[in-house]
Amino acid sequence: MARKLMPTTKQLTTDILFLAQIGLAIVFGGSEFLRLLNTSQGIPIFWLASWLAFLLINLALTIRAYSSRPSRVTLQAVGCYALWAVIIASDLVILFMKGTDIWSAADSITAIIVAAGIIVAIPWGYRRGRGLGDPIVHGYLGILFIGIPQITLAYTIFQEGGQGLAGTALLASNFSILIRLGLLGFAIAEAGWDQNRKGAAMSEFANEISWLLVTLAWLIRYPHG
C-alpha cells in the first residue's frame, strides 16, 4: 500500500507547488503591472529585459529536458517559465509605453558587464567542447542575465528608492523562485540529473541569491522614499 501511496503523495505535492506558482505569478504580474502604471522609481528597464531573457533561456532548457526525458514535473516547470515570460514581457511593455527616461546610466553599465560576461562565457564553453547550444553554457548565460541585473537593481533601489517595485511583487517573487527550485528538484528526482535540468537549476539558484539582495535593499530603502 505504501508503494502505491508514495507516487500519489509526490504528485499531489508537485501539483500544489505548481498551482502556488501560478498564483504567485499572477500576484506578481498584477501588482507590478499596476505599480508601474503609477511609478517606475528604482526599476531599470534592462533588469526586466534581462529577466525576460533569463526566463526564455530556462524555458528552452526545460523544454529540451522534457523532450529528452519526459516527466510530469518537468512539464509543469515548462508551464511556469512560459507564464512568467508572458508576465515580464507585459511589464516591459508598460515601461516602453511610458517612454520617459526609461534607460539610465545603471542600465548602460549593467548591459556592458553582461555583454562582457557573454563574451567570456561563450569562448570558455567552446574551449571545453561546449558549443553555444550546450545546456551548461545556457545556464551560465542565465546567471549573467539574472544575477548581474538584479545586483544592479538592488543598488539602484538602495540609492534611489524602490517605489516602482510593489511589496507584494517582491514577496511573491521570493516564494516563486523557491517553488521553481523545488519543482526542478522534483523533476531531477523523477527524470534524472541531466545537463538541461542542471543548467536551469544553476541559473535559478543565482536568481534567488541575487533577489535576496534586492529584498534587503528594498526593506532598507523603501520606507525612506
Torsion-angle region of residue 12: left (phi > 0), alpha (psi -120 to 50) or beta? alpha
**Mean pLDDT for the stretch of residues 34-50:** 84
Q: At 193, is the pLDDT very low, low, confident or very high (cuts 50, 70, 90)? A: confident
Cα gap 200→136, rounded to integer Å: 8
Cα gap 155→160, rounded to integer Å: 8
The whole-chain average pLDDT of the chain stands at 87
**Mean pLDDT for the stretch of residues 143-167:** 89
- What would the pLDDT profile of 166-188 be if each residue is shown by its tens digit? 888 899 999 999 999 998 888 88
Which sequence spans correspond to the domains of the chain?
9-224
pLDDT at 95: 83
Cα gap 154→147, rounded to integer Å: 11
Stated pTM of the model: 0.87
